[in-house]
Amino acid sequence: MKRGVLVTACCVLALLAACNKKEAPTPPPPETFVSGDVDYDRDNLLNLARGASVVSRTAELGLENSAAHAIDGDWLTFWKSAPNGPEQTLAFALPTRSRIDHLGAILSSNPHEIPLQIRFDASDDAAAWREVATLVPKLQNGPQLISVKPFDAAYVRVRTEGATGYYSVLYSVIAKGSELAPRVQPSVDGCWTINGMPSRFVQHGSRVSGVIGGDSPMYVSGATDGRVVRLMWTRGPMWGWALLALDPRRRELTGVRWHERVGGLTAGDGWFGTPCVGPPTSAAAAGVGGATLDETQIAATVLQRAGQWVAYSDDSLGILTALIARLPSRQFRVTAPARSRAATLPRVEFEVVQPKTITEPQRVLADGVALHLR
């Protein structure tokens, strides 16, 4: 009997001790917020217009809903997974090595297109990856960010995990932080394969001209600003605008083009390129690789098709002058965000125009000296 009483007393004491014991606090989940203090376009390091690029991707619905559209700085364009394949991986090169303190995404308003989780990994070389954060999205559209312990990286990888429907959709991937070194953009000069097509660019200083595709080729004309190559393109009667970025090691090229106006509704296919290895093998590639690209003639073709051509650097003003000289009977109008040397050219009506822009691609593509036919 005494033994039973002793056992009972010990049990009571053990229960009391367990009740009085303080449980270890559960760590709070990462903060998820939508803040009016963040410019999700200009403050985003993963923005093509700032020099971010795609280094690998697993699958997507098509080139018009590609990984490039997740970093094109436009809320109306988006990456969409392959059908019935919502779990995919996208890897991006930052413009330069950076310190990241927030990660997130702009998601779909359709709850059946929101991944159950979005995992973020970081890397210094795009080979060895370390997991840094996981976003568990709320069922709401718009930006969703998590604050993370600041980390340094040159590459960020995104993995969509779990499915609420047939697809996963990311309108934009966001990395907020600060760059640790100046952006050093590799030259785009040389032979490339873009979306399986033979392509070539010629770069003189900041000026860039090029041709994409052997059959019914697309010609491009523009310049780099040190972060991204800004271009106008023409193919037959069609024309528009484009941005190109290279990863820091010049292993991959990423681009997006727009038809006539820069905006989500006019966005076209994403461009994914790799440098040529060895000599061109096909006749089409040989033609692209061996043909002489006439910068002024390409610019003149753009001017004829689009009714305008934009000089994106000071050393491009020589091309603008040559275009005016080619058409001695025409009058021209030149617009620019600030006073320019082009104001003194003959047969030119010069006007300072502040363009109305919303997105970062619109801003960087509007920041040039535009020659208009009158």
Crossing angle for the helix pair 295-306 and 317-326, to the nearest 10 degrees: 70
CB 133 within 8 A of CB 148: yes
What are the φ and ψ backbone dihedral angles of 21, each rounded to 5 degrees? -70, 135
Tens of pLDDT, residues 133-178: 999 999 877 789 999 999 999 999 999 999 888 999 999 999 999 9
Find, among 5, 95, 101, 106, the residue nearest to 49 by Cα: 95
Find, among 167, 161, 339, 183, the residue nearest to 247 by Cα: 183
Strands (E) across 124-216 are located at 129-135, 142-161, 169-179, 190-194, 197-204, 207-212
Q: Which residue has the higher pLDDT, 99 or 12?
A: 99
| The residue type at 192 | W
What's the whole-number average pLDDT of the chain?
88
CB 296 within 8 A of CB 303: no
CB 124 within 8 A of CB 110: no
Tens of pLDDT, residues 206-258: 999 999 998 899 999 999 999 999 999 999 999 999 999 999 999 999 999 99
Q: Where are the domains of the chain?
A: 32-179, 190-373
Beta bridge partners of 29: none
Put residue 126 in one of left, alpha, beta given phi > 0 → left and psi -120 to 50 → alpha. Answer: left
Q: What is the CATH number of domain 32-179?
A: 2.60.120.260
Tens of pLDDT, residues 43-79: 899 999 999 999 999 999 999 999 999 999 988 899 9
Q: What's the confidence (pLDDT) of residue 8?
A: 44
